[in-house]
Amino acid sequence: MEDAQTLHETYYKSYGLAIEGLVRYHKIDPVDYNSKVDDALPLDQILHSDPKLRKLISDIDRTKVRLWLFTNAYITHGKRVVKLLGIEDLFDGRQYLVTESSTAHSYGYTLLLAFLLTCFKG
């Protein structure tokens, strides 16, 4: 178990996501991994609608900003979390930085930076 924990920490620190190291060095299928790990978590027993969080987000002046949700989670996990928190309808858009075609943490953040640069070009 200690080896697994060490490996997880090493990959997490190196890549921002442990799955990135597993894909790179152990040929783990990220979609299969997600379905057996993140999607298998009993989140409905842990996460619940959060009225204070909903109010905090709702109180943001939408005439001044557009709200985008960015997450490095796989799309199914990200959607599940915001739904359980009761905030899925509060965002103008969502960007999941890990998809079936991209597991790389650094690639996802490169996409995020490119997106942000296009938003702020003037």
Residue 43 gets which letter from DSSP?
G
pLDDT tens, 78-103? 889 999 999 999 988 877 665 555 55
CA distance from start to end of the chain: 52
Taking the whole predicted model, whether its pTM rises above 0.85 is answered as no
pLDDT at 10 over 80: yes
Q: What is the pLDDT of residues 17-57, one digit of tens each?
A: 788 888 888 888 888 888 888 888 899 999 999 999 999 99
Domains delineated in the chain: 2-120 (1.10.150.450)
Best CA proximity match to 112, nearest among 91, 100, 122, 98: 98
Query: Is the pLDDT higher at 30 or at 108?
Result: 30
Given a cut of 70, whether residue 1 has pLDDT beyond it is: no
